[in-house]
Structure 1
Amino acid sequence: MLSHARPWIRHTRSLWPGLALPLLIMLGATFLSEHYGGPQLLYALLFGLAFHFLHEDARCRPGIEFCAKTLLRIGVALLGARITLAQIGQLGIGPLATAALGMVSTIALGAWLARRLGLKTDFGLLCGAAVSICGASAALAVSAVMPKSKETERHTLLTVVGVTGLSTLAMLVYPLLVKFLRLSDTGAGIFLGGTIHDVAQVVGAGLMISHEAGDVAVIVKLFRVMLLVPVVAVLAWYWRQRSSSASASASRQAPLLPFFLIAFMVLVLLNSLGAIRPGFTESLGQVSRVCLVVAISALGIKTSFEDLVKLGWRPMALMLAETLWLAAAFVLYLCVFAR
């Protein structure tokens, strides 16, 4: 019995050198975010980039890869514990349809505009999903089913940097736009929840208006998070079909619906049925956040800052255009169709 356990024990021990560093980065990023403000994920990413040299160490590499892949999928799956179908149903068809159409059109715009800017279509799809769904979390989820390459990792990190920065800027600017447009608290919540990329910034922007706006914003945002499942499933199918001609065996190994998305949907259903206690739901949400911060730290360690700089201004222009497009879609709905 012990002999069968020894390989697993050796494998676990091999992870610790590379696992310890992302964990320490997560603690440092959390401390800075809680005491001095600012986005936790962005701190974790920047700290990770500073330790890129450790990815070349053979002792650290297995643990870093474990954080960047396995913990990433666990973190995305646990996001489902925050959502119930009842919360979504309270919104009505208008905001939900606008969010869905905004998501589809933003991803399509990203793919089209990426080609016009001389970037790869895959990068446009990745940015479009991140902007239109849930920021860094969506970028990490989509990257988990993308064809693996060094370029993919650079694109993922750049997308996380871009959407986190734009989300923080939107948190400051959009409440002013809401007041300028004279939206009601409900309308303000729909706009903020439908347009800001990351959940934390949605909460911050909503509470700048009122508690009612904050509550509505979170519900709209959680619906956008639910859209992660069909989007990742469709993109996984697209990349699987594209690569099937190159390797039939690789195609069989790539599941159409990744396991972490199945776990995500199961948690949504369980939470909707009341099978998960509120206290436990909060705990799962915290575990999800920890996993995602550790994963982004590991992705930062794997990525060279020099490689990111070489990508130039076009990726940021792409994400800015997608952000403005999504905001315009919700302004059109609130100012024309919802009145």
Structure 2
Amino acid sequence: MFAASDLRDAFSLSRAKTLRTGVLSAIVVAFAARFLSEHYGAPAMLMALLLGIAFQFLHEEGPCRAGIDFSARTLLRAGVALLGLRVSWQLLSGLGAGAVVLTVLGVALTIGAGILGARLLGRGVRFGVLTGGSVAICGASAAMAIAAVLPRNEHSERNLVFTVMSVTVLSTLAMIVYPMIVTALGLDTHAAGLFLGGTIHDVAQVVGAGYMVSDETGDVATVVKLLRVSMLAPVVFIISLVVNMKGLGGTDSQRKTPLLPAFVVAFLVLAAVNSVLGIPEAVANVANELSRWLLLIAVAAVGMKTSLKQVREVGGQAILLVVCETVFLGLLFLGALLLRPGL
């Protein structure tokens, strides 16, 4: 279901021996990040990224390099594909047309705001798409999926690490602040869940913020968040389409972006299977946990490929851009909910 080269990498015995050391290194970092997250309350993605950066020397010339590259690319795509099992038509149909339209509009406008903001701040369109998409859809997971189809340059790894780090930190802050906002404004259960699910970046923080308010708010927030997750496939498809139309994928066939990347096809197929046949809860839980681990390992590997010095070079304008995108999305939802209370 993934690219042929990915399958050859995964199942070739000689290739597996080459990848083993680097993949195991990324797994160890991911386990350490999960331990710190569970015992000290820090976001697992952020911990994996920071620990990965600390072990950046492993990606230098040596036995770990190939496995780390494999983890950052192929394991990432497998983890994103498995997110499709979290989405189904039945889950999303109960939201109501107004909530669906607002959520979809929020994704589109936030990405547009990211592109516009990047231009105003002297940043490239790619950076605007990357940050806008990660804020609009599902944080670190979206950032990594979008980065996988964007044309690459010498700043790609640095920008990805910065984006994952910044949206994770902002999402954690939003998990603390946003429940206080909905309580202060007196939003009802549905409106509060729509706001929290539509504006907080990462799934885990949405769940935490929603159930911090009430069980009903948490249920609505989770469903709205999954609607945003489902937007990942069409957004990546559109990006791939634009890249191909503009010829930005490069002349090397290995660098060309497929019109519909294999991991996006897998995402859609799994979502369709879940919608039509229904996936047993036990299977869905296992797939969800596997997806979380694959993404955590991939984030650790991305950190191992990037030095902290490179991240510092992104600059204050980039931080301003991500903060503005976050504020824009929050104000968009608040404005809509206050003007149209029945959404």
**What is the match of residue 318 of structure 1?**
321
| Alignment check: 8 A CA contact 2:86 2:288 kept | yes
Unpaired runs of 5+ residues, structure 1, are 1-6
| Alignment check: 8 A CA contact 2:210 2:221 kept | yes
2:195 is the counterpart of 1:196: no
**What is the match of residue 60 of structure 2?**
56
1:282-301 aligned at under 5 Å gives the runs 282-301=285-304
Structure 1: how far apart are the matches of 2:199 and 2:339? 17
| Alignment check: 8 A CA contact 2:114 2:321 kept | yes
TM-score (structure 1 length as normaliser): 0.95
| Alignment check: 8 A CA contact 2:249 2:256 kept | no
| Alignment check: 8 A CA contact 1:82 1:281 kept | yes
**What is the match of residue 235 of structure 2?**
231
| Alignment check: 8 A CA contact 1:240 1:251 kept | no
Question: Match for 1:257 among 241, 257, 260?
Answer: 260
2:68 is the counterpart of 1:46: no
Change (3 A) 1:24 1:246: closer
Structure 2: how far apart are the matches of 1:71 and 1:208? 32
Q: How many Å apart are 1:95 and its aligned residue?
A: 1.1
Q: How many Å apart are 1:245 and its aligned residue?
A: 9.1
Change (3 A) 1:152 1:188: same
1:123-142 aligned at under 5 Å gives the runs 123-142=127-146
Change (3 A) 1:93 1:303: same
Q: How many Å apart are 1:252 and its aligned residue?
A: 9.3
Structure 2: how far apart are the matches of 1:8 and 1:183? 55
Q: How many Å apart are 1:214 and its aligned residue?
A: 0.2
| Alignment check: 8 A CA contact 2:86 2:284 kept | yes
Structure 1: how far apart are the matches of 2:106 and 2:147? 21
Q: Which amino acid aligns with 1:334?
A: L
Which moves more between the two structures, 234-243 or 294-303? 234-243
**What is the match of residue 77 of structure 1?**
81
Q: Which amino acid aligns with 1:287?
A: L
2:166 is the counterpart of 1:158: no
Q: How many Å apart are 1:338 and its aligned residue?
A: 2.6
Change (3 A) 1:269 1:242: same
Structure 1: how far apart are the matches of 2:73 and 2:243? 18
Q: Which amino acid aligns with 2:315?
A: G
| Alignment check: 8 A CA contact 1:244 1:250 kept | no
Structure 2: how far apart are the matches of 1:287 and 1:244? 33
What root-mean-square deviation, in Å, do the aligned CA atoms of Structure 1 and Structure 2 show?
1.5
Question: Match for 1:209 among 199, 206, 213?
Answer: 213
User: Could you list the per-position Cα deviations for residues 10-62 of structure 1 after superposition, in whole angstroms to 9, with x for gaps in the alignment?
Assistant: 11101111111110011111111111111000000000000111111331111
Work out the percentage of aligned pairs sharing the same amino acid.
45
Structure 2: how far apart are the matches of 1:118 and 1:52? 29
How many residue pairs get matched? 332
Question: Match for 1:174 among 169, 173, 178?
Answer: 178
Change (3 A) 1:282 1:246: closer
Question: Match for 1:327 among 307, 330, 334?
Answer: 330
Q: Which amino acid aligns with 1:172?
A: I
Change (3 A) 1:155 1:80: same
Q: Which amino acid aligns with 2:93?
A: G
| Alignment check: 8 A CA contact 2:199 2:329 kept | yes
Which moves more between the two structures, 292-301 or 267-276? 267-276
User: Could you list the per-position Cα deviations for residues 252-284 of structure 1 after superposition, in whole angstroms to 9, with x for gaps in the alignment?
Assistant: 953100010111011111111234211000100
Structure number with higher helix proportion: 1
Q: How many Å apart are 1:241 and its aligned residue?
A: 2.1
| Alignment check: 8 A CA contact 1:41 1:293 kept | yes
User: Could you list the per-position Cα deviations for residues 65-123 of structure 1 after superposition, in whole angstroms to 9, with x for gaps in the alignment?
Assistant: 10000000000000011111111110001111111111111111111111111111100
| Alignment check: 8 A CA contact 2:158 2:311 kept | yes
Structure 1: how far apart are the matches of 2:119 and 2:75? 32
TM-score (structure 2 length as normaliser): 0.94
**What is the match of residue 282 of structure 2?**
279
Unpaired runs of 5+ residues, structure 2, are 1-10
**What is the match of residue 147 of structure 2?**
143
